[in-house]
Every structure is written in C-alpha cells, then in structure tokens.
Structure 1
C-alpha cells in the first residue's frame, strides 16, 4: 500500500465516503433517540414504566459523553477505518440485543453498550471527514456528514415510531441494526485507511484544554446548545397553547422544522468555508430573535407566523451545530481527535442540561419565561463568538494527515 498526502481535490469516492458517514450519523442518532417515540410500547412489552424507559435515553447521552473522552485517550492510535468498523459492529450488536431483550435490565445493558460506541464514533467521525477531503472542503464535509443528524430528527425517529406502532418496537431496533450493517459495508468499501498524526492521550487532552480559543468555542457551544434544547424540548407544549393552530397541524409544523434543518445544512455547507464566523453569528442571532418572539407573543399567533418562526429556527440551528463543529476542526490543527472528543462531551452534556433546565422552568414558572430565558442565553453566546478568531492567525488552515490508498 502506498502512503500519500491527503487529496488535493474531491473525487467521486470522496463524495460517496462523506455520504456513507452521513448514513452512519443518521444511524447513531436514530439509535440514540428512537426510544423517545417508543416509550409506551417498550414499557408495556417489558412491564416497566415509561419514565424508566426514558432513562435509557438520558443514560445513553451521559455514557456517550464519557466514551468520547475515553476513546481520545486510549484509542487514538488505532487506525481510523478499523476503529469505525469496530464501533459500527458494537452498535449493530447493541441494536440486535435491544431487539431481542426480555427484561428492562437487559435493555439497559444493550443501551449502555451502544452508548460506548456512540461517543467514540461521534468523536471520530468529524476528524475522519476532515482527513478525507482537501482543507477548503472542511465546512462542506462537516455539513454533509452531520446532515445525518437533521435527517434523523426528520425521518429516523418518526419512522421508528411508525414501525413500533404498526409492527412492534422490536422491529424498530431491527431496522437500526440493518442500517448499522449498511454503514459497516459502506465504511469497508469507501473509507480509506487513514494514518493520522493527531496528538494522542492525556497530554493531548490537556493541550486542547489549554487553548483559550477552543475553550471559547466549547463554552459558546455549551450555552447555545443548552438554550436550544431547553426550548425545543418543549416546543410541542408551546404549540398546544396557540389557539389558532389546530392540533392536527402540529405534526406538520414539526415536520417543516425538520425539513428546514435539512435545507439549513445545505445552505451552511455553501457558506461556511468562506463565512464561518458570520454564519455562526447570524444563526445564533436568528434563533435568539425567534425565541424572544415566541416567548413574548400571546396565544393567538397566526399559523403563518408560527410556520415562519419554525422555518427560521430550523434553518439557523444547522448553522450552530455544523458551525461550531467545523470551528473546532479548523482550530484543532494536529489535535482533531481529542478536540472533537471534548466537543462531543460538551455537546451531549448540554443536551442533558438543556432538557433538565427546561423541565424545571416549565414546572416552576411558565413556557413563555422558558423561551425568554433561552433567548437571552443563546444571545449571550454571541459575545463569546465575537472573540473567537475565524482562522489560525493569518495562515491558511492546514492539518497533518495522510491516508493509505488501497
């Protein structure tokens, strides 16, 4: 096998590799969130409570956050392709176990196993995307790969829910097992054997954490993602408060939000390589404006205004998710793996905090106040964004990496 520098131009195989990585992110996010739409049938099938089944989602997120850090310390010297294949097999086994369990404790074990693969996979996949494309395509690559997240929120969870209702919840996990197998086959054929010079171990993590620039990105991510999930977790109850919006239209509103997220991924991919800081800043400000609008409005908004607000929110949130991830990869230099691992940990932690803070505010205060506080929090993240450089000094972004052609 010949060892080459990273490619200077995109090829058909490069695009297909990004596509299979997008399928992989779709699979892992669908696996993570599927129980949300299957709480009742799983609880009935395993003679457990819905709250207990819901804990499998929370536990999955926390274990995933820890596994990302673990992977960057102990697994960084493993071939990227080999590690992705192993993690995909672990995810496949987890889904098969979940489809065949006979007790709640077995389901919990299956979910923990999947979460161990999830965090490491999530930390690895961004660095892998960067390694197989020229530097000028980093934003596009990140948009495509993490477009699987938006696709999962639009199609993955609803499809799992539909399968669970009409064919049984076990068949939903069998579907995710099949997607895991497809991802494994695609990675085997399309992903090159990447040899990275990325720094490894605890020293690499410490080095990343000494970067004031990366800390600003992590904290801005934490603030923005916490605010987003605190608000979005309770968007359905908020929609129910709107007297002019028929309940029958609520699924349509959420579907339009998801489609807008996919469109936002495409738009972000077009803009982000040239206008990274502007894209993130505008995305944050747009969501801030939408949340303030929803929080300060009364209960008689027109259907048109509601749809408009959700479209803007959906498009803008892609700029945040993809933008911060791209920023980390751009600023990490030779530490893409540990930098991504820490980012994944902050992101998953923010999801958990956002949902918890949202629950507390809704129970103790009110939905409108939740949206106003979330708008304020996400708006404050702009102050951090303002002090983050768009690039490393005045030099073009470069990364030490190579790959082995088969």
Structure 2
C-alpha cells in the first residue's frame, strides 16, 4: 500500500491534485471493477474455511485433509504471482484481468459440481492462478487508471477489495453453507464471478504496456534489507494466521460446543471486527508502520493462543474472536505498507515477490495447522498459530525501523 502526501509536503513524483485534472467517473468505475474482482477472488480463496466440517463429512475426508482446499490455491498462487506477471509480458492488462477473473468462474463450478475430492483440488488450484496473478498485477493498476495525483487513492481502493475479502470470505461461506449447503456457496461465488467479469469487460479501458517483467529483476528486492525483513514478517504472520484460522470452525464446534448457526454469527462478527481493524490499520500505519506491525502480531497471536485457555465458553470465545478480528483487519494494510515503502519503485516486481511470500505462508499455515489438528487435536492449531504471530511481532520489535521521515498519511482502506 503506498502512502499519500500530507498537507505539508507533496513529493515531486506525485503531482498535486490541485494542478491535475480530476479522474472521470469512468476511471473511478474502472478502479472499482478491479477492486470488486480482487474481493471476489480473495473471498473465494477463503470460502472453504467456514465450510470445512460439512465438506469433510460429505466427501468422507478428515478436516485436516479438507484444509488442502486452502493450502493448494495458496501454493499455486505463490508461483502464479511470479509466473503470470512474467508470462503475460506486454499483453494489455485489461485482457489479463479478464482471464484471471475467468479462472474464478471455472474453479467455482468445478468445486460446486464435483463429488471427487481430487477434482475439487484441481479446481482450487486453478483458483490459485487467478489469485496469485490478480494480487500481483491488479494491485499496480491504480497508477494506470487515474492521474498520478490520485493513484494512491485508487491503489487503496483496489487493496480494499483484497483486505475485505480476507475478512469476508469465511463468514460469507459459513452463512450460506448453514442456510442452503456448502455447494450452493460455491455456486453463488461462481455467479458473482460472472457478474464481475461482465462488469470488467464493460468498464476497463485499454491498458497497454511497453515493459515486461523478467526473472532477472526479481532478486533486486532481496537486496533491500527492509524488504527482506518484511518478507520474514509476512512469512511468520501469515503462517500464524492461517494455521489457526483455517481450523477455527472445527474449534468452535468441537471445543466450545457451538451449533452451526451460532458459529456463522460469530464468524460474521469476526468479519465486522476485521473491517473496523482495517480502518484502524490505515490510521496506525500513517503514524508508525513498525508499531502497527508489532501490535498486529501481538494482538493476533495472543488472542488466538488464548482460545483453548479462556475461550471455551461462548462469552470467552466471542471476546477473543472480536479481538482477533480487529488484529487480522490490521494485518493486510500493515504488511503491504511495509513492503511497498521498502521498495516504492518496484510495484510489479516487488508485488509479485510479496504475493508469492504471502501465499506460500498462507498455504504453509493451513498445512501446519492441519498436521497439528490431525495429530494433536483442534486446539493445538490455535496455539501454534499464536506462537508464529507473536514471533512476527518480536522480529519487527528487534530489527524493524520506521522510515526517518514518514512519507505521509496513508488513506485508510474502507
């Protein structure tokens, strides 16, 4: 997430909005279509989390194995973020976005219609291509769709789709699954994807490019100390989050003893808290990205780890889930801001490497949590996830530094 200039100092590279023509309504609608596409992709990526018990029961697999529906797209997305960005070369980015959105439609249909767990995993792998490519390419389109003075706001809107998708996917899936079944949730996601694609085909202008990313450009990010530290922090916090959160529904069912309706309501509460946390994150990173990262890791880790200890009642679980949701809402904007400030001139290459790191971590977290669940019980996933998140806070507290002069206020994602 890039920072915007404050009232006292406007960077030379970012013309003042007072001297630049305002974007047209069509330009903002094009930005919104990309944001909605990112929201749909990320929401679908996390859709299975709230549906794991019912999916596992119908397909006759363990809940740990069902968690592969989160692990597989994460692994594929990690490679796709780099390979798609390089592979599309100078292709008009409008066509690239259309193609990535189309993978969402096909993936959801495969999952919704198949009785074979293997075919379902293939469908989820296809989704990973869309997610990885969209995270890496879509995030850089804000600079292309509006004049430079408004680019940061446009980028914030696009990343809002990603951030909100991370907190909306689970409660949406849980609610629909509880009301009409888990397959209908994927049918609904597919229908939404069709509408998103039609909207993008209508609203996105031509987006030709004269440059293409090469493999030789990727290692440049690794030579930046702050970027390396950000990648380590991303690895730890994403593993922690998804080691625990992928299995929060089985925990609430088996340990707390909640019924499906109550769990759906609690996950919706988590999503609402995440939305508030996203706004808080926009405020905190404008003041100190380092402190925002530390607070995010500590609050996320301690609340998750405390669930097996003091979250075994409805009241305790609700309080901890809300606190966890606030921290999770802060996470995307915090880590994205850290990485983009570490390499502000490498949006596509830096974005591709960051997305690859995040998706590998997401997949690893779901896998680590699944192993813990199958061997040590569902409560262990909460503890393991909490330890990783707290470790991220410790790493940033020890070695992280804020910029000497913050580059300005960041628009809160909303």
**Bin of the TM-score, shorter chain as denominator length:** 0.7 to 0.9
Structure 1 residues 23 and 135, CA, compared in 2 at 3 Å: closer, same or farther? closer
One of 264, 267, 270 as aligned partner of 2:280 = 267
Shift of 1:306: 2.9
Q: Measure, in 2, the Cα distance between the counterparts of 1:197 and 1:330.
A: 25
Q: After TM superposition, give the deviation of residue 108 of structure 1 in Å.
A: 4.8
Instruction: Name the CA distance, whole Å, in 2 between partners of 1:191 and 1:200.
Output: 22
Q: Tell me which of 166, 169, 172 is aligned to 1:149.
A: 166
Q: Is the 8 A contact 2:234 2:335 kept in 1?
A: yes
1:382 offset after TM fit, Å?
A: 1.9
2:309 matched to 1:293? no
Shift of residue 112, structure 1, vs aligned partner: 3.4
Q: Which moved more, 1:273-282 or 1:119-128?
A: 273-282
Corresponding position of 2:338: 327
Q: After alignment, is 179-188 or 366-375 more displaced?
A: 366-375
Deviation at 1:225, TM superposition (A): 1.2
The match for 1:348 is 359
2:395 matched residue in structure 1: 384
Equivalent positions of 1:4-403 (< 5 A) are 9=17, 11=23, 12-13=25-26, 15-34=28-47, 37=51, 49-50=60-61, 55-96=68-109, 98=111, 107-129=120-142, 131-132=144-145, 134=150, 137=153, 140-141=156-157, 143-146=159-162, 147-156=164-173, 158-159=175-176, 162-164=179-181, 169=183, 172-194=185-207, 200-240=213-253, 247=259, 249-297=262-310, 299=312, 301=313, 303-365=314-376, 370-386=381-397, 387-391=399-403, 394=405, 396=407
Gaps of 5+ in 2: 1-12, 409-414
- CA, structure 1 residues 160+327, in 2 after alignment: closer, same or farther (shift >3 Å)? farther
> Contact 1:25–1:148 at 8 Å: present in 2 too?
yes
Residues in 2 aligned to 1:376 and 1:55: alpha-carbon distance in whole angstroms: 22
Report the TM-score when normalising by structure 2.
0.77
Distance 1:142 1:312, change over 3 A: farther
Q: CA deviation at 1:226?
A: 0.8
Please report how far the alpha carbon of residue 219 of structure 1 lies from its aligned counterpart in structure 2 after TM superposition.
0.8
In the alignment, structure 1 segments of 5+ residues that lack a partner are 398-406
Alignment: residue pair count: 382
Farther-moved stretch of structure 1 (155-164 vs 230-239): 155-164
CA contact (8 A) 1:220 1:385 kept: yes
Task: Kindly report structure 1 stretches of 4+ aligned residues shifted beyond 6 Å.
Answer: 196-199
CA RMSD of aligned residues (A): 3.7
Task: Decide whether the 8 Å contact of 1:138 with 1:273 is kept in 2.
Answer: no
For residues 362 and 130 of structure 1, the distance between their equivalents in structure 2, rounded to whole angstroms, comes to 43
Give the drift of 1:118. 2.5
Distance 1:87 1:359, change over 3 A: closer
Please tell me whether the aligned partners of residues 264 and 319 of structure 1 are also in contact (alpha carbons under 8 angstroms).
Answer: yes
Higher mean C-alpha deviation, range 273-282 or range 367-376: 367-376
Matched position secondary structure for 1:272: helix
For residues 152 and 7 of structure 1, the distance between their equivalents in structure 2, rounded to whole angstroms, comes to 37
